[in-house]
Structures are given as C-alpha cells and as structure tokens.
Amino acid sequence: MAMIGGISQVEGSQNSATIDRLAHFAVDEHNKKENAVLEFVKVVNVKQQVVSGMLYYITLEAKDGEKNKVYETKVWVKPWLDFKEIQEFKLIGDAPYAAPS
C-alpha cells in the first residue's frame, strides 16, 4: 500500500503492461518535444508516489541511434481525468553492455 507523499518501489514493474505503456508514452512525448528519435527498449526500475493522482519515477532503456542509453522520467497520472503528463525526462548514461545471446 502506497503512503500519501511517500515514494515506494513498484514490484514486478518490468512485467507490467501499464508501466510499459507509461514508459512508451514518456519516450513518445520526449521525441515530440525534443524532435528526437529514441526507441523504447525496456523498463529498468519503477517507483511511485501518491500525489493528486500518482507520480511514477520510471528508469528506462531506450535506443538512441546505435547505442542504448538509460533515462529517468517522471510521469504524473490522474486516471479519473484521463490525464498523463511528463514532469521530467533526463539522460542518466549509457546502458550496460549486454552480450548477444
């Protein structure tokens, strides 16, 4: 149970269709705003904070050209108003190299 104002870890976030949709939304909105061409790869981590709605802190991996990079975004959601807004989208660094299998 999330505490009002407290930030809590979202368990199972890497397998959540809802979180994936929010991460895709964040990348798409960033691309529109910055005229960028990032491609969503995967969700790395998610935390949430109960505010007037829910604020999701999503760490995600996205492809920027030939390199995968890690970004952090904050997505504010008020489901009863069908409202979603990107509060922040920032580059953290290069994604760890994963050897092809």
Q: Is residue 49 part of a domain?
A: yes
User: Which three-class secondary structure state does DSSP give residue 50?
Assistant: strand
CATH assignment at residue 76: 3.10.450.10
For residue 97, pLDDT beyond 70: no
Place of tokens 């909105």: 29
CA–centroid distance for 6 within its chain: 18
In whole angstroms, give the CA distance from residue 71 to residue 62. 7
Q: What percent of the chain has pLDDT over 70?
A: 89
Across the chain, what does the average pLDDT equal?
A: 90
46 close to 57: Cβ distance less than 8 angstroms: yes
Instruction: Enumerate the β-bridge partners of residue 94.
Output: 69
Residue pLDDT, tens place only, 15-32? 789 999 999 999 999 999
59 close to 67: Cβ distance less than 8 angstroms: no
Q: Is residue 1 part of a domain?
A: no
Residue 87: name the closest of 98, 101, 100, 76 by CA: 76
Q: Is residue 101 part of a domain?
A: no
Q: Is residue 2 part of a domain?
A: no
Tell me which of 83 and 5 has the higher pLDDT.
Answer: 83
User: How many folded domains does the chain comprise?
Assistant: 1
| Model pLDDT, residue 99 | 47
Sheet-wide strand order for 39-51 = 7-9, 39-51, 53-64, 67-78, 83-94
Note the pTM of the prediction, 2 decimals.
Answer: 0.87
Encoding tokens for residue 75?
Answer: 């997505």
Q: Is residue 33 part of a domain?
A: yes
